Structure 1
Amino acid sequence: MLVGLDVGTTSSKAVVFTAAGRPVAQGRSVTPWTTTVHGAEMDPTAVLDSAREALANALAEAPDGTVVAVGVTSMGESGVLLDGRGAPLGPVIAWHDTRDRAEVDDLVATVGAGPFARHTGLPLRGQWSLTKHRWLLNHHPQLRDATRRLNIAEWVVRGLGGEESAEQSLASRTGWLELSTRTWWPDALDWSGATRALMPELVTAGTPLGRITAEAGLPRLTGAVLTVAGHDHQAATVGVGASGPGDELDSCGTAEALIRTVPIGLDGAAVEKLASAGITTGWHVLADRWCLLGGTQGGLALQRILALLGRTSQDLPDLDREALARDEPPVTISGVDEDVLTVSGVGSGMSPAHLWRAALEAVTAQAAHVHSAMSAVAGDHHTLVVTGGWARSQALLEVKRRVLGPLRSPAVDEAGARGAALLAGLAAGVYADPAEFPALD
């Protein structure tokens, strides 16, 4: 058996799979964020304990058999600073925390949005690791004694007994990695107060990184091969079989993320154009390819409209049928990616189905804008796979088909964990290469 662990923003999800890629057990635990005067952060030891709890919960439900390997994927940007003995020195800042506004402003003034995007593949905004690192050094002087910096999945693998590493898709979310050369960018390191020595060896997801030790406190996993399975969005592309050139995953959760796999080699102008549209370009979890990632708040907008209508997810089948039976409504919804939604054109004869149809059209138009921005630079997509909680809406899938073209929507609950498990199988030799990964039923 194989285990995939997805350490996410709200929870850690551990899923046990057969070598054929079928889930047989799962466990979950809450990601232990706390709110301080500065913002959202957590104790590195607490997130490691949470990961262990999710694994233990999954194993308690798993059938008899040997677990061969464990892969760990996680949210990006957040990281852990360690001393020479491997002990954490300070808090993990949440990737979405905004305490680093002054650092972002300084980076804009010092480096500039265009050069930053060309070097890193990232839009210059307050999300990436380097500005949070500089904030930490300015506010926690003891962190200047750190000798190692790890991303969350890398920290969990180390805590389970594995070797230290810097996985390339997670490294691409830091602002320190130069996209074109796949090496650490000296100017970004210097600006943030980091050094090359702080960074472990760069690896690709699926690289074997030792085995789980008895000290991890998970007896059934002792001896299992460990690997870092990279950034959660990219791991999900592996989990649903959408990681070939031109494949695109549309993950429809509270936030909607579009992840497209592309060949290496977009030039600086193309990368900067993507960044100006809010789209990141980075190294993929799989070798020899890049990944484009853009997003909207489409799922959140749908939640707001559903609540406005006094409906719940249980009402979706009926609401979807009614919405599809209507012509495109005169009512429009704007502000999908803003704090306030604006509904216009409400007249007599309007029904909940009209408003729901308008919401589906609005969020799909927003996703199509990101999709088209990718295609304008990288060419047409090859296949489109739609997953996530909102993929259960048949009306949303129908609107997406009309706007974006043919798609498939496989039945998979934890795509990131499945991708992590398959990459664990690669690390352990269960699969000789990604071409052997089992397809979804």
Structure 2
Amino acid sequence: MITRDAVAGVDLGTTMSKVLLRTADGEQLALVETRTPWTTTPDGGTELDAERFVGLAVDLLRRAYEQAAAIAPLRVSAIAVAGLAESGVLLDGSGSTRTPVVAWFDRRGAHQIESMSLREPNFGPAFVRRTGLPLDCQASVAKLLWFVDDGLELTSAHRWLSVPEYVVHRLGGELVHEPSLASRTGLLDQATGAPWTEGAKHLGLPPTLLPARQPYGESVGRLAHNGLPAGLRDAALVVGGHDHAVAAIGVGATGPDELFNSTGTADVVVRSLPGALTDEERENLVGNGISVGMHVLPGTSALIGGVRGGLLLRRVLALLGTTTAAERDALDEAALAVGSLPVGLEVSGAGPTGDDVVLRVRDGADPATIWAAATRYTARETKALLDLMEHVVGPHSRAVASGGWTRMASVRTAKSAVIDHLTFSESSEPGVAGAALLAQRAIVPSPV
């Protein structure tokens, strides 16, 4: 029997982690997933030992390989690991981990950032203009400041790796930083693409925390992990990058001024833009809730913003008692027939920080009209975010939406009504699909 050649895409996500095996011509051989096993600290924090992420990736790769190899012999030539940003691990000079991986949404570091902002009121604007990020507890530097206050002494020998970078390193790759992931740390100067030495020193951090940069499209080592089948051994290893940018690659929305709209718990937009933005543009965008960083692709910026549209839709479905697939399909179809909404029917609560759903109902509202109101409201919130983005950088030329909510015709209709040049991708897993494309490029250089 002929041995098939394949590549693997890994997506280590906040909620779910996945591995896709596919052939060079795009045939899917296996797709496996599992929940990312965060642990809760006694004081309510969220973290995970870095080795658990390695074990998670190894287990998913093994399962995917065994599933595909049960059909025909298989050889995996390359593996690209993408995933969540901001969360990472600190290594000392011997390569040993000194910290757990703290979840990006964990509030550790908030006190340190607040104290610094009070002491140094001019540093916040400089941070925004240099890094393209707001000065808050989500950026990796906030967690680093918390570790320092907790007693960790940092030296020039320490290195900070995001989760995908660390997993690739433990599988056999070199210590590297990948630009789209490093852009979420607060350690990278977006104007130059180099580490922001002055900012690190101002924060009291070593300016050498980021390792060398991964050359785009090149592998950084070969898989040498004993816990994986022989058919995976010696595969080229690549750090895929930040999951949102990699998902944009997965649906092909990476051309100049193209837009990717991911519709999960958050409704995220990723805009690809040639070159680097100015300090003023970064400041304007960040002030409107849009971060600016380097894309996975060379010479390209990624503008990223989001609203909690999917969270609102999920809560509205629960409120309406829609629990089965059949009930959801019926509601979806009924919402398509809704024209003008009843006067006074309002749904809100899907903004960037909105945690509550506010529903105002008068006579004439039924489940179909409430659902139609919810889909139209979340679409308008995404459009408002795009308007803020386009006020600074101009209109997009093409938009592609993907994700679980776009399987509903009512959601697609609401989005199409307000987002220009919008199409929908059939890819159900753009993150791992994009990672697989980057793995393929490491062995056969080509555009992605």
Question: TM-score with structure 2 length normalisation?
Answer: 0.93
Does residue 44 (structure 1) correspond to residue 50 (structure 2)? The answer is yes
Give the match for residue 280 of structure 2: 269
SS at match of 1:197: coil
SS at match of 1:202: coil
Provide the rounded CA distance (Å) in 2 between the counterparts of 1:271 and 1:293: 12
Contact 1:248–1:384 (Cα < 8 Å) also in 2: yes
Does residue 183 (structure 1) correspond to residue 194 (structure 2)? The answer is yes
Alpha carbons of 1:226 and 1:360: their partners in 2 closer, same or farther (altered >3 Å)?
same
Provide the rounded CA distance (Å) in 2 between the counterparts of 1:370 and 1:15: 32
The alpha carbon displacement at 1:213 in A equals: 0.9
Give the match for residue 3 of structure 2: none
Q: 2:9 aligns with which of 1, 4, 8?
A: 4
Matches within 5 A, 1:325-336: 325-329=337-341, 330=343, 331-336=345-350
Give the match for residue 133 of structure 1: 144
Q: Which moved more, 1:330-339 or 1:215-224?
A: 215-224
Give the match for residue 35 of structure 1: 40
Does residue 321 (structure 1) correspond to residue 333 (structure 2)? The answer is yes
Alpha carbons of 1:284 and 1:340: their partners in 2 closer, same or farther (altered >3 Å)?
same
Provide the rounded CA distance (Å) in 1 between the counterparts of 2:85 and 2:28: 25
Letter in 2 for 1:367: T
Contact 1:176–1:188 (Cα < 8 Å) also in 2: yes
Provide the rounded CA distance (Å) in 2 between the counterparts of 1:77 and 1:47: 15
Superimposed CA distance per residue, residues 135-171 of structure 1 (whole angstroms, 9 cap, x where no aligned partner) = 0121142666862221111100011011110000001
Letter in 2 for 1:368: K
The alpha carbon displacement at 1:29 in A equals: 3.1
Provide the rounded CA distance (Å) in 1 between the counterparts of 2:116 and 2:399: 36
Letter in 1 for 2:108: R
Letter in 2 for 1:373: L
Contact 1:30–1:50 (Cα < 8 Å) also in 2: no
Q: 2:432 aligns with which of 412, 417, 424?
A: 417
Q: Which moved more, 1:151-160 or 1:311-320?
A: 311-320
Contact 1:254–1:298 (Cα < 8 Å) also in 2: yes
Matches within 5 A, 1:247-396: 247-312=258-323, 314=325, 315-329=327-341, 330=343, 331-337=345-351, 338-344=354-360, 346-396=361-411
Q: Which moved more, 1:160-169 or 1:60-69?
A: 60-69
Does residue 21 (structure 1) correspond to residue 30 (structure 2)? The answer is no
> Please, which runs of 5 or more residues in structure 1 have no aligned partner?
none
Give the match for residue 85 of structure 1: 94
Provide the rounded CA distance (Å) in 1 between the counterparts of 2:446 and 2:395: 26
Alpha carbons of 1:206 and 1:307: their partners in 2 closer, same or farther (altered >3 Å)?
same
Superimposed CA distance per residue, residues 278-336 of structure 1 (whole angstroms, 9 cap, x where no aligned partner) = 10110000111100000010000000000000003613322122112112313111222
Provide the rounded CA distance (Å) in 2 between the counterparts of 1:133 and 1:218: 36
Contact 1:82–1:149 (Cα < 8 Å) also in 2: yes
Contact 1:168–1:285 (Cα < 8 Å) also in 2: yes
CA RMSD of aligned residues (A): 1.7
Q: Percent identity?
A: 38
Letter in 1 for 2:407: R
SS at match of 1:41: strand
Provide the rounded CA distance (Å) in 2 between the counterparts of 1:91 and 1:289: 32
Letter in 2 for 1:48: V
Give the match for residue 152 of structure 1: 163
Alpha carbons of 1:145 and 1:275: their partners in 2 closer, same or farther (altered >3 Å)?
closer
The alpha carbon displacement at 1:106 in A equals: 2.8
> Please, which runs of 5 or more residues in structure 2 have no aligned partner?
1-5
Superimposed CA distance per residue, residues 54-74 of structure 1 (whole angstroms, 9 cap, x where no aligned partner) = 111111111422111000001
Provide the rounded CA distance (Å) in 2 between the counterparts of 1:206 and 1:235: 13
Does residue 433 (structure 1) correspond to residue 446 (structure 2)? The answer is yes
Superimposed CA distance per residue, residues 348-370 of structure 1 (whole angstroms, 9 cap, x where no aligned partner) = 22110010011011111110111
Q: 1:113 aligns with which of 103, 124, 136?
A: 124
Contact 1:28–1:58 (Cα < 8 Å) also in 2: no
Matches within 5 A, 1:174-253: 174-253=185-264
Contact 2:201–2:207 (Cα < 8 Å) also in 1: no
The alpha carbon displacement at 1:195 in A equals: 1.9
Give the match for residue 54 of structure 1: 60
SS at match of 1:6: strand
Contact 1:17–1:25 (Cα < 8 Å) also in 2: yes
Alpha carbons of 1:94 and 1:191: their partners in 2 closer, same or farther (altered >3 Å)?
farther
Alpha carbons of 1:205 and 1:296: their partners in 2 closer, same or farther (altered >3 Å)?
farther
SS at match of 2:201: helix
Provide the rounded CA distance (Å) in 1 between the counterparts of 2:375 and 2:225: 50
SS at match of 1:229: strand
SS at match of 1:349: coil
Give the match for residue 79 of structure 2: 70
Provide the rounded CA distance (Å) in 1 between the counterparts of 2:204 and 2:27: 45
Provide the rounded CA distance (Å) in 2 between the counterparts of 1:164 and 1:357: 49
The alpha carbon displacement at 1:88 in A equals: 1.0
The alpha carbon displacement at 1:8 in A equals: 0.7
Contact 1:27–1:58 (Cα < 8 Å) also in 2: yes
Provide the rounded CA distance (Å) in 1 between the counterparts of 2:157 and 2:12: 24
SS at match of 1:175: coil
Provide the rounded CA distance (Å) in 2 between the counterparts of 1:157 and 1:230: 11
Contact 2:16–2:35 (Cα < 8 Å) also in 1: yes
Provide the rounded CA distance (Å) in 1 between the counterparts of 2:123 and 2:97: 32
